[in-house]
Amino acid sequence: MNLEQIKQLIDMLSDTDVVEFELETPEFKVKIKQGVPQAVPPAQAAPVLAPAQAAPAPNAAPAPAQAPQADNLVQVTAPMVGTFYRAPAPDAEPYVKVGDIVEVGQPLCIIEAMKLMNEIESETRGRIKEILVENAQPVEYGQPLFIIEKL
Amino acid sequence: MFEKILIANRGEIAVRIIRACRELGIGTVAVYSEADRESLHVLLADEAYCVGPAPSAQSYLNIPNIMSTALLAGVDAIHPGYGYLSEQAHFAEICASHGIKFIGPSPESIARMGDKAAAKQTVRAAGVPVIPGSDGPVSDEREALAIAEEIGFPVLIKAAAGGGGMGMRVVYDRQQFASAFQIARSEAQAAFGNPNVYIEKAIERARHVEIQVLADEYGNIIHLGERECSIQRRHQKLVEESPSPAVTPELRQAMGEAAIRAAQAVGYANAGTVEFLLDPDGNFYFLEMNTRIQVEHPVTEMVTGVDLVKQQILIAAGEKLPWKQEDIEWRGHAIEFRINAEDPDRNFMPSPGRITLIHAPGGPGVRFDSGVYSGMMIPPYYDSMFAKLIVHGRDREEAIARARAALHDLVVEGVHTNIEFHLRVLDDEAFRRGQLSTDFIERRKLLSAS
């Protein structure tokens, strides 16, 4: 994180009533406290959440994406917790690319859990419109992976 | 010390564990089902991962997804809470094989105490009194009658494959025995697919009194006194207290020492509870051992000053127990009330829904352990208990007065609760006199709608 980003972060926070903000990644840790002229009552029933848009946190679960609006778009979500891989092996070609046409039962990706590789198959015949996660990204149950345009 | 712990549970106990981790400076990882996305434990944890759809079997009991999450999040340990995976020995084994510390006893201890019949044999060999009964299933009627006469009536004929109070029949004299035995066998076959029954002494007006034990991984074991949990409906505890009105210091010492022997017999480590039945003559009999932290642990915390969940974490991290038995003192009296989302007018049917307002009571000696906040949904898929109110006073009378004030102070809107039921318990004459037994609710007719 550079000075410019930190300044942006501070500016963003000063528009909110967040009193204390902490962000930690493998690369850095930043903690920002806003001075207040009078005592701020501590958050009561609703816990204070760090603003989700501040900076990408590698382990933050993405908010569940809205189901695609168009009727012919299908979302493929992770059926298990694990690591998402686009190809069967590190040096192999990815299973699918954006624009590819896939058939029912065709493998789209691998989700690896505890050293076991699980091929995730398409349940739709269609065209890959979007790939929503990166190679080697951890995914949780229900996390959107692909958007397929039904054919 | 651990850097990060995954909490394999939900609701108020998950919040409890997160709090203990916070105090110890340990990072927290929550897991949740799709139905619990907005839950308090998810919002409080440092990290949270969805592990499955709403049904527990596919989420909170989903070992592959939970272990996968633990490995991806890089946790050092898993706290299983109570229920769910907390007493599944093979889950403890899986943790061990992945180099993740299971916060609890060893898989062997869990397995040995999990088999209820084997547990009884194990503790009996260690000099712990057990309920007199047949040594296992009895299929011959004459043999069964001989055992019954030796134990003395009344006896219980229990289905070996039953549990949770199902498949039990009381017999008061030998005239009734023959037919009761045959009927019990057919009922067991019909209900559980297994006709095996065994005979046990029926203890009337028994109290459910359990002893909290705490053991480190170096063989040091202490007990933290008893909890009386006799107020139960369908074998679900509703009100628990410590100390028990029926336990003298001498009896506490005897039961405590018996509980420690039971724990030692399986090489126990971490927190555990040994359950006994206490009869009106002061005889106590081993029922079973729960190899986990229990729902009602706060009453013990309030009277001893020991933070049990924090101790669980410290013990698992390799710390020695900081106390000897003589260091443990009991001060005052504590009572816990389980606050459930249920409808008293519909036979206490679960009442899920959105809590539109919750206002927690406070003041001296009042503790509220909750898994919810105003505006949160209580989903229909899980236990109806969403909070616990615990009060502490210098004696039982003060605790009862404090409880009444706190229960009136507590406001929950949006779902039905059993708060009124608890107020009726507090007003009950037998309760105020401490005259408790496991048939308390039926005996005092407290289940009728107000």
List the CATH number of the domain containing B264.
3.30.470.20
What's the CA angle centered on B428, arms B426 and B434, to 5 degrees? 80
Report pLDDT digits (tens) over B28-53. 999 999 999 999 999 999 999 999 99
Helix axes B308-316, B297-304, angle to 10 degrees: 100
* pLDDT for the residue numbered A53: 36
* pLDDT for the residue numbered A30: 87
* pLDDT for the residue numbered A47: 39
* pLDDT for the residue numbered A95: 97
* pLDDT for the residue numbered A58: 38
Q: Inform me whether the pLDDT recorded for A63 exceeds 50.
A: no
Mapping DSSP onto H, E and C, the string for chain B reads: CCCEEEECCCHHHHHHHHHHHHHCCCEEEEEEEHHHCCCHHHHHCCEEEEEECCCHHHCCCCHHHHHHHHHHHCCCEEECCCCCCCCCHHHHHHHHHCCCEECCCCHHHHHHHHCHHHHHHHHHHCCCCECCECCCCCCCHHHHHHHHHHHCCCEEEEEEEEECCEEEEEECCHHHHHHHHHHHHHHHHHHHCCCCEEEEECCCCCEEEEEEEEECCCCCEEEEEEEEEEEEECCEEEEEEECCCCCCHHHHHHHHHHHHHHHHHCCCCEEEEEEEEECCCCCEEEEEEECCCCCCHHHHHHHHCCCHHHHHHHHHCCCCCCCCHHHCCCCCEEEEEEEECEEHHHCCEECCEECCEEECCCCCCEEEEECCCCCCEECCCCCCEEEEEEEEECCHHHHHHHHHHHHHHCEEECCCCCHHHHHHHHHCHHHHCCCCCCCHHHHCCCCCCC
Q: Which of B318, B330, B219, B316 is nearest to B270 (CA)?
A: B316
B59 contacts chain A (CB < 8 A): yes
- Phi (first) and psi of residue B353, to 5 degrees: 150, -175
Contacting residues for B179 by C-beta, under 8 A, at least 6 apart: none
CB B219 within 8 A of CB B235: no
Quote the CA–CA distance of B382 and B283 in Å, as a whole number: 37
Q: Are residues B231 and B352 in the same domain?
A: yes
A141 contacts chain B (CB < 8 A): yes
Is B231 within a domain? yes
Tell me which residues of B are annotated as active site: 292
B51 contacts chain A (CB < 8 A): yes
Calculate what percentage of chain A has a pLDDT beyond 70: 77
Q: Are residues B263 and B333 in the same domain?
A: yes
Is B131 within a domain? no
Out of B43, B50, B98, name the one closest to residue A140 (CB).
B50
Q: Are residues B174 and B249 in the same domain?
A: no
Q: Are residues B329 and B369 in the same domain?
A: yes
Q: Are residues B173 and B231 in the same domain?
A: no
Residue B54: CATH number of its domain? 3.40.50.20
Q: Looking up tokens 């930690």, which residue turns up?
A: A24
Residue B170: CATH number of its domain? 3.30.1490.20
Q: Are residues B275 and B365 in the same domain?
A: yes
Tokens of B258: 């018996």
Q: Per-residue pLDDT for chain B (450 aa), expressed as one digit of tens each?
A: 999 999 999 999 999 999 999 999 999 999 999 999 999 999 999 999 999 999 999 999 999 999 999 999 999 999 999 999 999 999 999 999 999 999 999 999 999 998 877 898 999 999 999 999 888 788 889 999 999 999 999 999 988 776 656 678 889 999 999 999 999 888 888 877 888 888 999 998 999 999 999 999 999 999 999 999 999 988 889 999 999 999 999 999 999 999 999 999 999 999 999 999 999 999 999 999 999 999 999 999 999 999 999 999 999 999 999 999 999 999 999 999 999 999 988 888 999 999 999 999 999 999 999 999 999 999 999 999 999 999 999 999 999 999 999 999 999 999 999 999 999 999 999 999 999 999 999 888 887 544
What Cα–Cα distance (Å) separates residue B196 from each residue in B137, B167, B172, B286? 6, 11, 21, 22
Kindly identify which residue of chain A lies nearest to residue B33, measuring between CA atoms: A141
Calculate what percentage of chain B has a pLDDT beyond 90: 85
B374 contacts chain A (CB < 8 A): yes
Quote the CA–CA distance of A145 and B190 in Å, as a whole number: 48
* pLDDT for the residue numbered B163: 62
Is B123 within a domain? no
Q: Inform me whether the pLDDT recorded for A48 exceeds 80.
A: no
Confidence of residue A69 (pLDDT cuts 50, 70, 90): low
ipTM for the whole complex:
0.78
A107 contacts chain B (CB < 8 A): no
* Residues of chain A with C-beta less than 8 angstroms from the C-beta of B68: 80-82, 113-114
Quote the CA–CA distance of B226 and B207 in Å, as a whole number: 12
The number of folded domains in chain B is: 3
Q: Are residues B252 and B171 in the same domain?
A: no
Mean pLDDT of A97-122: 95
Domain that holds residue B37: 4-103
CB B72 within 8 A of CB A114: no
Q: Are residues B230 and B156 in the same domain?
A: no
Q: Looking at residue A3, what DSSP letter applies?
A: H
What Cα–Cα distance (Å) separates residue B447 from each residue in B350, B353, B420, B426, B442? 15, 23, 11, 14, 7
Out of A49, A64, A140, name the one closest to residue B43 (CB).
A49
Give the residue from B57, B83, B103 where a domain finishes: B103
Q: Are residues B283 and B169 in the same domain?
A: no
Contacting residues for A39 by C-beta, under 8 A, at least 6 apart: none
* pLDDT for the residue numbered B32: 98
Give the residue from B201, B219, B251 where a domain finishes: B201
Kindly identify which residue of chain B lies nearest to residue A44, measuring between CA atoms: B373
Q: Closest Cα of chain B to A80: distance in Å?
A: 6
Give the residue from B150, B180, B201 where a domain finishes: B201
The CB density around residue A12, as the number of other CB atoms within 10 Å, is 15
* pLDDT for the residue numbered A113: 92
* pLDDT for the residue numbered A6: 86
* pLDDT for the residue numbered A55: 37
Q: Closest Cα of chain B to A17: distance in Å?
A: 18
Is B136 within a domain? no
Q: Are residues B233 and B252 in the same domain?
A: yes
Is B233 within a domain? yes
A45 contacts chain B (CB < 8 A): yes
Is B112 within a domain? no
Q: Are residues B184 and B319 in the same domain?
A: no
In chain A, what are the domains? Answer: 3-33 (no CATH), 73-150 (2.40.50.100)
Interchain pair A114, B43: CB under 8 A: no
Is B108 within a domain? no
Q: Are residues B212 and B73 in the same domain?
A: no
Confidence of residue A38 (pLDDT cuts 50, 70, 90): very low
Size of interface A-B (CB pairs under 8 A): 61
